[in-house]
Structure 1
Amino acid sequence: MDTNSNSSDNHSPDSANLLPRSIDWAAIHLAYTTSSSSTRDIGRAHGVTHAAIGKRARREGWERPEKEEPVSAKLAKLEPRQQRFVEEYMVDMNATQAAIRAGYSTETAEQIGYQLLQKTSVVEAISKARQAQQERTAITADTVLMEIANVALADARELVEVKTGCCRCCYGEGHKFQRTLLEMNSDRERWLDKGKDPSEFDEQGGIGFNPLLLPNSDCPNCGGDGQARTVLKDTRHLSPRAVALYAGAKQTKEGIEIKMHSKLDALEKLAKHVGLYEKDNTQKNDPLALRNMTDAERAVRMSSLLQANPALVATLAQLMATGAQQ
């Protein structure tokens, strides 16, 4: 059956776009006064012409934010070797090695690196370069801290589990060695292949072995303790925390070895970040005197400081709770 796409009964996206819509001038004002986006880009995002934005901005006295000085301008104010030092320092954050690669003497590189990091112009250039780097890579301090928190709070059982099930004799007849059906048939075939009397084949505890069953407390072989086995989890179905903890796998003579990042190291980094160590609580840049607070007061204070990142607050609160339980 033919249909008429031009029929008035058909509401195409184009016809929907013809409907009038309200203009969010509050959002436009925010973008105009706080971002570096052009009026054309702002207008395109909000469905209004750049001319209309300019007219309203002039009428209401909107002001554009000051343009930030680009990294190249910051570097241009430095001497050539200082510029090279900033570029090399961004590679590994090692002042001594950066000074050497920038052309300073290896004998005085450590001292020169320290002195350069005391210069306001160099520090500003590094700060600007680091900010630009974070914008390019989308890696911020919060991103790194969340990854550390994921490692610290991950459950290693998501990667490897030790499961204890019944032993071979738990449910065998007379608590004798129990086989699976496949094992029984295979053993019987080998017995017959050797030309032995079928009637003399020892079925022992019969068939039906299932390692997933719980241990039998009456088993004389294992005493109810069962038999442990290692189970490796499918890495395609891991939680974000387990992914952060996972450091790879290696095939060894004994089997597959699962590698993990150190939870203890991650916990130590987080503990320092929230000021749990006494030496960190007494640092000059700690205006909160955390060492004089109770754990509850410290958690409340840290939460108030990190309100801008609710996910991070929740993670750190969980860390505090874990430490309190231990």
Structure 2
Amino acid sequence: MKSNTKPRSGLNERRQAFVQAYLSNGHNATQAAISAGYSPKTAQEQGSRLLSNVMVRAMLATKAEEVAAVVELETARTLRHVACVSYSDIGQMLDEQGKLIPIPKMAPEVRAAIKSIEFDKDTGGVTKIGLWDKNAGLEKAMKHHGLYERDNDQRREDLSLQIVLVGASTGAIERGVLDSEGARQPPRQDGRAPH
């Protein structure tokens, strides 16, 4: 027996339009939903729903891989550049006399830390070198290693401990409703307050 249901090609086209708009607009799901033809009134909800859709997530992953391949964006290479900025040492740009090493003679990892170069308009010599923000590089490296997640988990534990301690009034402890650590005690069978 044949099914009378047609494939929802319009839905798939909308999903594809959403994916394309999402990747091109800086990952704004609401605006991508509007671009894909959803109502501005429901675009935020639709964008969120589409991002949780398995098919949309697969399309996003495929497109992201395609883009990365085209621009030769590689995780290992990106992390190497983050490391170059994070661990940069201005001393590696200077010779024994404290003079700037000619830029073409600097090691590639040293050059990777350079953000800008200013030249003297008369002599063509380098007058100023700007470096990428080392703290920003270290922050990116820390995020990559999950160090902020660990820090946030530790803070959540501290916060829950503070809530328990603040919530544990001395009267509740004295009445036996809470133990000394702020945990609720089970009720007694005789109906009296626990001790």
TM class, shorter-length: 0.5 to 0.7
Say which SS state the counterpart of residue 115 (structure 1) adopts. helix
Say which of 5, 14, 23 aligns to 1:81. 14
Task: Evaluate the alpha carbon distance shift between residue 100 and residue 257 of structure 1 in structure 2; reply closer, same or farther with a 3 A threshold.
Answer: farther
Q: Work out the CA distance in 2 between the residues paired with 1:246 and 1:126.
A: 33
Say which of 237, 242, 245 aligns to 2:110. 242
Letter in 1 for 2:70: R
Please report the RMSD computed on the Cα atoms of aligned residues, expressed in angstroms. 3.3
Q: Work out the CA distance in 2 between the residues paired with 1:152 and 1:270.
A: 8
Q: CA deviation at 1:280?
A: 5.2
Letter in 2 for 1:80: E
Q: Work out the CA distance in 2 between the residues paired with 1:115 and 1:249.
A: 46
Q: Work out the CA distance in 2 between the residues paired with 1:280 and 1:248.
A: 34
Q: CA deviation at 1:86?
A: 0.8
Q: CA deviation at 1:124?
A: 0.7
Trace 1:160-175 onto structure 2 (pairs within 5 A). Answer: none
Contact 1:99 1:113 in 2 (8 A): yes
Q: CA deviation at 1:233?
A: 3.5
Hey, what does 1:276 align to over in structure 2?
Answer: 147
Task: Evaluate the alpha carbon distance shift between residue 251 and residue 83 of structure 1 in structure 2; reply closer, same or farther with a 3 A threshold.
Answer: same
Letter in 2 for 1:245: A
Trace 1:169-318 onto structure 2 (pairs within 5 A). Answer: 231-250=99-118, 256-277=127-148, 279=150, 282=153
The structure with the larger Rg is: 1
Trace 1:2-81 onto structure 2 (pairs within 5 A). Answer: 78-81=11-14
Q: Work out the CA distance in 2 between the residues paired with 1:158 and 1:77.
A: 59
Hey, what does 1:96 align to over in structure 2?
Answer: 30
Q: Work out the CA distance in 2 between the residues paired with 1:105 and 1:233.
A: 59
Task: Evaluate the alpha carbon distance shift between residue 77 and residue 159 of structure 1 in structure 2; reply closer, same or farther with a 3 A threshold.
Answer: farther
Say which SS state the counterpart of residue 52 (structure 2) adopts. coil
Consecutive unaligned residues of structure 2, counting only runs of 5 or more, are 1-8, 155-195
Structure 1 range deviating more: 95-104 or 265-274: 95-104
Hey, what does 2:88 align to over in structure 1?
Answer: 154
Q: CA deviation at 1:264?
A: 0.8
Q: CA deviation at 1:263?
A: 1.1
Say which of 65, 68, 73 aligns to 1:139. 73
Q: Work out the CA distance in 1 between the residues paired with 2:118 and 2:29.
A: 36
Q: Work out the CA distance in 2 between the residues paired with 1:246 and 1:240.
A: 10
Contact 1:78 1:121 in 2 (8 A): no
Q: Alpha-carbon deviations, 1:115-141, whole Å to 9, x = none?
A: 211111100111111222233333122
Task: Evaluate the alpha carbon distance shift between residue 80 and residue 260 of structure 1 in structure 2; reply closer, same or farther with a 3 A threshold.
Answer: same
Q: Work out the CA distance in 2 between the residues paired with 1:234 and 1:119.
A: 53
The total of aligned residue pairs comes to 141
Q: Alpha-carbon deviations, 1:194-229, whole Å to 9, x = none?
A: xxxxxxxxxxxxxxxxxxxxxxxxxxxxxxxxxxxx
Letter in 2 for 1:84: A
Letter in 2 for 1:102: A
Q: Work out the CA distance in 1 between the residues paired with 2:134 and 2:141.
A: 11
Q: CA deviation at 1:160?
A: 6.0
Q: Alpha-carbon deviations, 1:65-94, whole Å to 9, x = none?
A: xxxxxxxxxxx7953222111112223333
Q: CA deviation at 1:107?
A: 5.0
Q: CA deviation at 1:256?
A: 2.7
Letter in 2 for 1:118: S
Q: CA deviation at 1:156?
A: 2.4
Task: Evaluate the alpha carbon distance shift between residue 80 and residue 134 of structure 1 in structure 2; reply closer, same or farther with a 3 A threshold.
Answer: same
Letter in 1 for 2:58: E
